[in-house]
Amino acid sequence: MKKPSKFRNVVKVIDGIRFPSKAEANRYSELRMLELGKQIRDLKRQVTFALYGKNGSPICRYRADFTYWEGDKYVVEDKKGYETPEFKIKANLFRDNYPDFDFRVVK
């Protein structure tokens, strides 16, 4: 018998893309509809950003679920059912490193 995943997520495939959870797959579908309706543009998945400390030394990397342009705002979005302590640290580092980006956590 297969062991359930740590957060009980269920893998889902949409448009031939494998998503780690139904929630993320559903959010992708919503964003694709917004892109087709020209409300957002340049939708991308799994974009990686380097995160640096105050002295400029690299600390770690953060991979966003989605990025896109909404008007003149660059949006970086993560779909979360549960925010881990690691995610909270990376989210704060991201906000410090990229203050001009609109960082969103969608629950």
Tally of structural domains, the chain: 1
Residue 49 confidence (pLDDT): 98
pTM attached to this predicted model: 0.87
Is 29 within the bounds of a domain? no
Q: Which residues contact residue 37 at a Cβ distance below 8 angstroms, ignoring those fewer than 6 apart?
A: none
Q: Which candidate, 76, 78, 71, 81, places its Cα nearest to that of 34?
A: 71
- Rounded Cα distance between 91 and 80, Å, is 12
What's the mean pLDDT in 64-77?
98
11 lies in some domain: no
- Tell me the pLDDT band of 79, cut-offs 50, 70 and 90: very high
For the cut 80, the answer to whether the pLDDT of residue 7 exceeds it is: no
pLDDT over 80 at 3, yes or no: no
The 10s digit of each residue's pLDDT in 15-24 is: 888 998 999 9
| Interatomic CA distance for residues 75 and 33, integer angstroms | 16
Range of the domain at 65: 39-106
Does residue 89 form part of some domain? yes
80: domain CATH number? 3.40.1350.10
